Structure 1
Amino acid sequence: MIVWTVANQKGGVGKTTTTVTLGALLALQGKRVVLVDTDPHASLSYYFGVDSEELSSSVYDVFMAGKSLNQDTVLDCLCPTKLDSLFLLPATMALATLDRSMGNQGGMGLILQKALQAVDKDFDYALIDCPPVLGVLMVNALAACERILVPVQTEFLALKGLDRMMHTLEIMRKSRTHEYQYTIIPTMFDKRTNAAMESYQALRRTYGDRVWSGVVPVDTRFRDASQAQSPPPVFCPKSRGVYAYASLLKHLQSLGGHA
């Protein structure tokens, strides 16, 4: 199973949209995909019409399973979606208590990695949607993946948030035997504004080939898809935003992200 984590310590940059759209595109390729919601706000879960407060089980139960964590623990928490091969491991507000209740326990940073390893044969891809806060949940998501996808809105304040994310990766890299592989994804690009172009150029100057050469444009169809609780590749397959994500997916798979 290929695992990608979608992370940025700034909110509103397109993390959930990126997770949903790439996941749906992969499912439409015939891949078996699980989307993992690790944000207590549960935006990814609500996207698919899942009310996190009415769930009998969620990713919170995965974290609480302890030594009994196994394949059945994870599979029992999954929710189906409108796409046959796309599944959701939903979040709940209870996740917000993990840092306080379990943050100092040994091995807490590897629970999600173990959970995904338990269902390695069940899925081709896992995409993890992160909260914008560095804590137990983000640490788990970063530890579990082969590649980090960092959506960045093409505007000045978002670039400052990216600096913070890169600093976090540098700190966490010291506890790993190899460097993180990451791809920066320019999102919400509005070609009509100088600010967007200047931000994109600043990204390229600072991070070079780490930045995907394309951009995800501003696309109001994404908002419509969210309201319809339908992934953009299903709701508006010919939209310019979906076209951009399809190009991004092709790029990511060319980097070795095939399953």
Structure 2
Amino acid sequence: MGLKAILIALVAPAVYGAALPQVHTDSTQIVGGTAAAAGDFPFIVSLQKSGSHFCGGSLLNARTVLTAGHCAVGQTASTLKVRAGSLNRNSGGVLVQVASIAVDPAFSSNTLDSDVAIFKLAADIPTSSTIGYATLAASGNDPAAGSTVTVAGWGTTTEGGSTLPTALRKVSVPVVSRTDCRADYSVSEITTNMWCAGVGGKDSCQGDSGGPIVDANKVLLGTVSWGEGCAEAGKPGVYARIGTLRSWITTQL
């Protein structure tokens, strides 16, 4: 397994196949994608520590950001900030301090089940011409196999890449059925709190963890969680399923 977060030191642990999933921890960007345009993802934020991007997130309201559980474990709120309202992870928009962190109590660092967390902010981020709030998928939502979804982030553009793009990237990928995804990985690895999407050559990658994957109406269907490598044939990206995790998320709003 491989997480899609960036270690703050930008060092990737080689733990494929280990109990802890390998973290997508490099720097380049979405694989096989294109530059995102203003308005494509008005709710996306860059999670930053010491001025460096390490994960993505989605703004749910003025003070609430949804990200991956594995992006939050071991972090201290006072050392983190989020940048919203900019396609550039290094400048523009607004930069706001994180006030508190809550990880879904069902989250497992070993299996990455229930891989969601909430960051509460120290100040409001109001909507504007460049900032909006995400709409959560309905309870029970399970993206239909074959449908097209779009994921965005500032993660690497190649598996094992070593530099992050400055500008936001996006890529559209097909949803892979849970049955097929379990055949690609294993039944135990792909829980009902996960769903899969991707095709050889197109995927999320290191640095994209916690960021949004949406349908054609920009409804937030999932957050970037893990995968084996990036954009490998027969190894789709795996996403936390908002449809089954929404009940805990809404308690945090």
After TM superposition, the score normalised by the length of structure 2 is 0.30
Larger-gyration structure (1/2):
1
After TM superposition, the score normalised by the length of structure 1 is 0.29
**Structure with greater proportional helix content:** 1
